[in-house]
């Protein structure tokens, strides 16, 4: 376990980015495809009784079911990794902004209205960020996605929630960064470097409906998107976090806001 | 210091607690011991009714009543008929009453000790650097009475709706010949679902009753009330815990069924995963959810841990092997120490006595009954042909190993359960002796694997009797010396039974793959 100790907490939190904002291989989607194919195949084989003359009912159920379970275990771990990554990212980010705002507050003179205004606004946005960030249980959703057949519905729900969370997260984070940037500008420090603006939210509901209408097939594409899309968001963090660290050095060791 | 709330929000993170529970389990392997003791309670319960069964069958054999008893028992409605037969009822009713009362007492009193120890140890493991074997005993003895009372009340309250609806259904079934009875049967079959639903909802709200005993130092209704309060205020995380637990168990059960269709017996592996890995981690998670839900406890801070899967697949096997090696060395020391000779002898006496009793009972009725009902001497279990070879050996290994763990640790119940379990194992062996066509064929079926397996079981029984002796010493002595002796013996017991794993693995692989070949060579058919 790596607890985030006091001291140069901000620096530690920035360094932990390498462990929270990780990239996931798209290969994991193969488990989802295999799981989908095997359980679908089992249903078709049982319904049409195709293999009954050659193999017994129990053997067919046992063989496809066991292979399906193995594939579902991979899918389950994939779902766990996606949600866990989001959780770790948001948890670290909350600690990071909390520390930065605490430092900003402690170094701002009580009569410096030009800085206090954007700082208060940033604190308000941070409060929103905390309230809108749901740390969903990766263990729970991974296990629900593991259930044969019904798991696919849980998979769609978990992807919907994850997409919504990411939308809300990016939206509030952008407002927060703008406030911090204004605050830094007002204090005479160099602002944050330009980051890719969050332009439009993902259509989570559309993805969910498409997944249900295609009997889960579209969710395979959605899974791929959920691997890829956060990478751009993590890229933004790689841009602004080092500047945040420079802007808020350890208290009593350097110039502040 | 960690913050208590963030902008008025006090959050309980299921994953953070689950994650840390895993790492606590890895850092303090001793926390598995109370969970192992839980399986030992099952052995204690089994030993009560198996002992009653052995005594009952022996009495019947002495009076030449076994054939009549078995033929009446196997008739339709035979179970009720043997109870109504005054000749059998004279022995059967006392044996049944003693068994039921014994099992209930063992479940409540033993459960009180085990759960008190278990949840107390989790709290220590989270907050301290080291968990000693002594603290397992201390935690068990400290709160066993309030815990036993809480178990009793909580079980009664949770399952009363279901039990009542089942009782109504059964009574209606007996009176279904009348119109009122038939209507009652139909109505009660629907009411059953309400009973089930009510019990499941109550189970959700009483889930923290046992941790409440340890954390809040309360018992009975007070613990149940606290559990209701915490579960009600933290319904999301409580539901998450309950669903995770349910899905883990159902998935494992489903996997066992599916793999059994293709000749892969995984029941014992599933039981081992549940007992040694999932139960301690899930119970620890439950305890810490309750702990963090406390109003004065700060929110769990953000911390990063290494991926669990990487640890399970790479580091855990090495750590487990290190423990097994320590266990082997401890087992060897236990075996050769002259001080342990009385325990070895008692275990051998139990096993040998069991064989003699089993043979006597078999000679006096059971063997004849089985032969007259189609058992062919010299014919082995045909299921052996339908199983993928190494899987059966591994399944036998895990089953025997888990039984030996439970046998050893059940000795904490003052030695008697270990003695009874070994006696019953011998009894079963004794029952099958007269069913073999000749001694050579019997030895061909037993010796190849039994030469390793039987001494290993006897050793598990021996260490169980020793820990029972240590428990008696503590009970009668009350001194720090006897307490230390008990905790040292418990530590030795755990290592000895862990160290038996390689022996049971070898024996299991022989039993699954080599013994059938040898049996065929000596005339057995499958």
User: What pLDDT does B9 receive?
Assistant: 63
C-beta atoms of B251 and A147 within 8 A: yes
**Nearest partner of B362 among B442, B418, B417, judged by Cα:** B442
H-type helices in B293-415, by residue range?
A: 308-310, 316-336, 341-361, 367-372, 389-410
pLDDT tens digits, residue range B12-48? 889 999 999 999 999 888 888 888 888 888 888 888 8
Q: What is the mean pLDDT of residues B190-215?
A: 93
For every residue of A43-92, DSSP letters joined together read HHHHHHTTTTTTS-HHHHHHHHHHHHHHHHHHHHHHHHHHHHHHHHHHHH
CA–CA distance, B491 with B30 (Å, rounded to integer): 9
User: What pLDDT does B8 receive?
Assistant: 55
Neighboring chain B residues of A140 at a CB cutoff of 8 Å: 14, 240, 243-244
C-beta atoms of A147 and B13 within 8 A: no
Q: What is the mean pLDDT of residues A1-8?
A: 59
User: What pLDDT does A115 receive?
Assistant: 83
Phi/psi at A199 (5° precision)? -95, -55
User: What pLDDT does A254 receive?
Assistant: 46
C-beta atoms of B247 and A19 within 8 A: no
Q: What is the mean pLDDT of residues A40-48?
A: 89
CA–CA distance, B194 with B501 (Å, rounded to integer): 46
- Asked if residue B105 lies in contact with residue B148, where contact means CB atoms within 8 angstroms, the answer is no
Residue B6 pLDDT greater than 60, yes or no:
no
Domain boundaries, chain A: 90-247
Neighboring chain B residues of A77 at a CB cutoff of 8 Å: 309
B16, B23, B258 ranked by CB distance to A62: nearest: B258
As to burial, measured by CB atoms within 10 angstroms (0-12 exposed, 13-18 middle, 19+ buried), residue B191 is middle
C-beta atoms of A137 and B248 within 8 A: no
For B201, residues 6+ apart whose C-beta sits below 8 A from its C-beta are none
pLDDT tens digits, residue range A58-114? 888 899 999 999 999 999 999 999 999 999 999 999 888 988 888 888 888 888 888
Q: What is the mean pLDDT of residues B219-248?
A: 94
Helix (H) or strand (E) segment spanning residue B303: strand B303-304
CA–CA distance, B468 with B418 (Å, rounded to integer): 8
CA distance A192 to chain B (A): 26
Q: What is the mean pLDDT of residues A221-241?
A: 87
Take residue B419 and report the two structure tokens written for it: 């003695």
User: What pLDDT does B30 receive?
Assistant: 84
Best mutation target, A102, A140, A151, A155, to test chain B (most B CBs within 10 A): A140
Neighboring chain B residues of A58 at a CB cutoff of 8 Å: 261
User: What pLDDT does A200 receive?
Assistant: 64
Residue B76 pLDDT greater than 60, yes or no:
yes
Q: Report residue B438's pLDDT band, with 50, 70 and 90 as the boundaries.
A: confident
What is the torsional sign of CA A230, A235, A238, A239?
A: negative
Helix (H) or strand (E) segment spanning residue B170: helix B144-174
C-beta atoms of B261 and A139 within 8 A: no
For A138, the closest chain B residue by CA position comes to B15
A112 touches chain B (CB under 8 A): no
Residue A6 pLDDT greater than 70, yes or no:
no
C-beta atoms of B240 and A137 within 8 A: yes
Q: Side-chain half-sphere of A245: how many Cα atoms within 13 Å? A: 17
Residue B499: count of CB within 10 angstroms of its CB: 22
- Asked if residue B429 lies in contact with residue B375, where contact means CB atoms within 8 angstroms, the answer is no
Q: What is the mean pLDDT of residues B459-487?
A: 88
pLDDT tens digits, residue range B295-316? 888 888 888 888 888 888 889 9
DSSP conformation class of B525: B
pLDDT tens digits, residue range B364-399? 888 888 888 788 888 888 777 778 878 889 999 999
A85 touches chain B (CB under 8 A): no
Q: What is the model's pTM? A: 0.86
| Range among B159-168, B185-194, B475-484 rated most confident | B159-168
C-beta atoms of B302 and A19 within 8 A: no
Neighboring chain A residues of B309 at a CB cutoff of 8 Å: 77
Q: Give the three-state DSSP class for B7.
A: coil
C-beta atoms of A3 and B301 within 8 A: yes
User: What pLDDT does A146 receive?
Assistant: 93
Q: What is the mean pLDDT of residues A167-176?
A: 88
Chain B residues within 8 A (CB-CB) of chain A?
6-7, 9, 11, 13-16, 18, 20, 23, 240, 243-244, 247-248, 251, 254-255, 258-262, 264, 301-305, 309
CA distance A121 to chain B (A): 15
Take residue A30 and report the two structure tokens written for it: 């193969």
Residue A2 pLDDT greater than 70, yes or no:
no
User: What pLDDT does A250 receive?
Assistant: 67
A143 touches chain B (CB under 8 A): yes
User: What pLDDT does A82 receive?
Assistant: 94
Take residue A106 and report the two structure tokens written for it: 């402690």
Q: What is the mean pLDDT of residues B88-117?
A: 90
C-beta atoms of A137 and B11 within 8 A: no
CA–CA distance, B447 with B518 (Å, rounded to integer): 10
Take residue B84 and report the two structure tokens written for it: 């109504």
- Asked if residue B118 lies in contact with residue B279, where contact means CB atoms within 8 angstroms, the answer is no
Residue A198 pLDDT greater than 70, yes or no:
no
CA–CA distance, B368 with B365 (Å, rounded to integer): 5
User: What pLDDT does B2 receive?
Assistant: 41
C-beta atoms of B14 and A139 within 8 A: yes
- Number of helices and strands (H, E) in chain A? 9, 1
Q: Report residue B480's pLDDT band, with 50, 70 and 90 as the boundaries.
A: confident
Q: Report residue B5's pLDDT band, with 50, 70 and 90 as the boundaries.
A: very low
C-beta atoms of A138 and B258 within 8 A: no
| Range among B1-10, B220-229, B390-399 rated most confident | B220-229
């Amino acid at each position: 376990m790596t607890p985030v100790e006091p001291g140069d907490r901000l620096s530690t939190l920035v360094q932990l980015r390498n462990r929270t904002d990780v990239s996931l291989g798209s290969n994991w989607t193969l488990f989802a495809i295999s799981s989908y194919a095997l359980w679908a195949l089992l249903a078709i084989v049982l319904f049409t009784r195709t293999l009954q003359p050659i193999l017994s009912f129990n053997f067919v159920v046992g063989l496809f079911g066991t292979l399906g379970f193995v594939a579902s275990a991979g899918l389950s771990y994939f779902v766990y990794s996606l949600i866990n990554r989001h959780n770790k990212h948001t948890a670290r980010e909350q600690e990071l902004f909390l520390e930065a705002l605490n430092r900003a507050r402690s170094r701002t003179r009580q009569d410096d209205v030009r800085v206090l205004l954007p700082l208060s606004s940033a604190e308000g946005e941070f409060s929103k960020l905390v309230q809108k960030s749901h740390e969903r249980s990766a263990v729970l959703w991974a296990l629900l996605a593991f259930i044969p057949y019904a798991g696919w519905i849980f998979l769609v729900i978990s992807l919907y929630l994850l997409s919504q969370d990411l939308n809300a997260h990016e939206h509030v984070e952008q407002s927060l960064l703008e406030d911090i940037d204004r605050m830094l500008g007002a204090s005479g420090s160099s602002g944050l470097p330009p980051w890719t603006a969050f332009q439009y939210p993902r259509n989570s509901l559309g993805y969910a409906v498409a997944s249900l209408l295609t009997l889960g097939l579209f969710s395979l594409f959605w899974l791929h998107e959920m691997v890829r899309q956060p990478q751009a968001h993590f890229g933004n963090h790689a841009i602004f976090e080092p500047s945040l660290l420079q802007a808020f050095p350890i208290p009593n060791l350097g110039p502040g806001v | 210091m960690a913050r208590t709330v963030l902008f008025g929000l006090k959050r309980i993170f299921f994953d953070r607690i689950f994650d840390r529970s895993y790492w606590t389990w890895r850092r303090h392997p001793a926390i598995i011991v109370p969970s192992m003791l839980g399986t030992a309670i099952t052995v204690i319960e089994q030993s009560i009714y198996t002992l009653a069964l052995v005594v009952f069958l022996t009495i019947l054999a002495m009076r030449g009543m076994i054939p009549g008893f078995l033929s009446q028992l196997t008739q339709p409605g035979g179970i009720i008929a043997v109870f109504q037969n005054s000749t059998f009822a004279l022995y059967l009713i006392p044996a049944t009453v003693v068994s039921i009362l014994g099992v209930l007492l063992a479940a409540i009193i033993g459960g009180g000790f085990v759960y008190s120890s278990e949840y107390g140890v989790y709290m220590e493991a989270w907050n301290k650097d080291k968990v000693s074997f002594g603290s397992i005993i201390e935690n068990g003895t400290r709160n066993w009475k309030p815990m036993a009372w809480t178990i009793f009340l909580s079980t009664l309250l949770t399952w009363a709706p279901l039990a009542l609806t089942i009782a109504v259904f059964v009574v209606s079934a007996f009176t279904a010949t009348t119109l009122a009875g038939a209507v009652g049967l139909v109505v009660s079959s629907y009411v059953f679902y309400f009973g089930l639903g009510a019990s499941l909802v109550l189970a959700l709200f009483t889930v923290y009753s046992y941790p409440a005993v340890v954390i809040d130092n309360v018992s009975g209704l007070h613990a149940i009330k606290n559990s209701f309060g915490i579960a009600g205020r933290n319904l999301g995380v409580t539901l998450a815990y309950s669903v995770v637990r349910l899905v883990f168990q159902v998935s494992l059960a489903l996997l066992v069924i599916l793999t059994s269709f293709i000749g892969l017996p995984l029941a014992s592996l599933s039981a081992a995963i549940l007992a040694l890995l999932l139960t301690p981690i899930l119970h620890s998670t439950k305890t810490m959810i309750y702990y963090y839900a406390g109003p004065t406890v700060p929110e769990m801070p953000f911390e990063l841990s290494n991926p669990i899967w990487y640890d399970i697949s790479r580091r855990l096997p090495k750590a487990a092997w290190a423990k097994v090696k320590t266990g082997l060395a401890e087992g060897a020391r236990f075996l050769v120490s002259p001080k342990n000779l009385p325990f070895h002898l008692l275990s051998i006496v139990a096993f040998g006595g069991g064989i003699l009793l089993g043979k006597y009972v078999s000679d006096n009725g059971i063997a004849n009954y089985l032969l007259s009902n189609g058992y062919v001497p010299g014919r082995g279990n045909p299921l052996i042909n339908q199983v993928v070879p190494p899987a059966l050996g591994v399944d036998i290994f895990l089953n025997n190993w888990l039984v030996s763990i439970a046998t050893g640790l059940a000795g904490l119940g003052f030695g008697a359960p270990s003695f009874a379990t070994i006696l019953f194992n011998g009894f079963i062996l004794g029952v099958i002796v007269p069913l073999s066509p000749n001694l050579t064929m019997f030895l061909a079926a037993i010796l190849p694997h039994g030469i390793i397996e039987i001494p290993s079981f006897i050793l598990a029984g021996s260490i169980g009797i020793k820990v029972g002796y240590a428990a008696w010493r503590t009970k009668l002595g009350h001194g720090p010396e006897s307490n230390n002796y008990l905790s040292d013996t418990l530590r030795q017991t755990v290592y000895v039974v862990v160290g038996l794993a390689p022996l049971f693995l070898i024996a299991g692989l022989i039993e699954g793959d080599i013994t059938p070949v040898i049996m065929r060579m000596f005339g057995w058919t499958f």
